[in-house]
Amino acid sequence: MLVELVKVAKSSSSPWLARVLTQFGEVAVRWCGEPAAKPGMYHVEWTVDEDIAWGQNAKPAAGVGPGVRPGGHCVVLLRGLLNLTADGAAVLDIDGTQILLDLADPLPGSVAGTWVELFVEREKIALHPYEL
């Protein structure tokens, strides 16, 4: 996904965080690139380092369409289409960007192909910049 990096910063008790703008929201999450990265456009891969549990940190979306935004104190909301694979894995599609999810328990089959929202601590969502 192409994002606009606004700023990379670190507080004493947190990892490097990047404030980024996307076409559908702005958010601050863990930055796995160079800490001295300059503002600008970057291609990034998103990862979620938290087990997803339906009804706890995952639920049906309040709306449709991709989204990223702050979801409360140090929490980020990710909204996308949820797809289930044949082997029981889950993938969140945010505007064409695929994020493989680790599941705490199998998801209900009825959520496949629906818009969902994930609520994840910002330090457990990572951006990995790459060059094309």
Quote the mean pLDDT of the chain. 94
Q: How many folded domains does the chain comprise?
A: 1
pLDDT of residue 72: 82
The mean per-residue pLDDT over the stretch 36-64 comes to 96
Q: What is the pTM of this model?
A: 0.93
pLDDT of residue 58: 97
pLDDT of residue 87: 84
Summarize pLDDT for 67-118 with one digit per residue, the tens.
999 988 889 999 999 999 888 889 999 999 999 999 999 998 899 999 999 9
Share of the chain above pLDDT 70, in %: 100
In this prediction, residue 17 has a pLDDT band, given cuts at 50, 70 and 90, of very high
Separation between Cα atoms, residue 125 and residue 88, nearest integer Å: 22
Phi-psi group of 113: left, alpha or beta (phi > 0 → left; psi -120 to 50 → alpha; rest → beta): left
The residue range of the domain holding 10 is 2-130
Q: Which residues, 6+ apart, have CB-to-CB distance to 23 below 8 Å?
A: 66, 95
In this prediction, residue 119 has a pLDDT band, given cuts at 50, 70 and 90, of very high
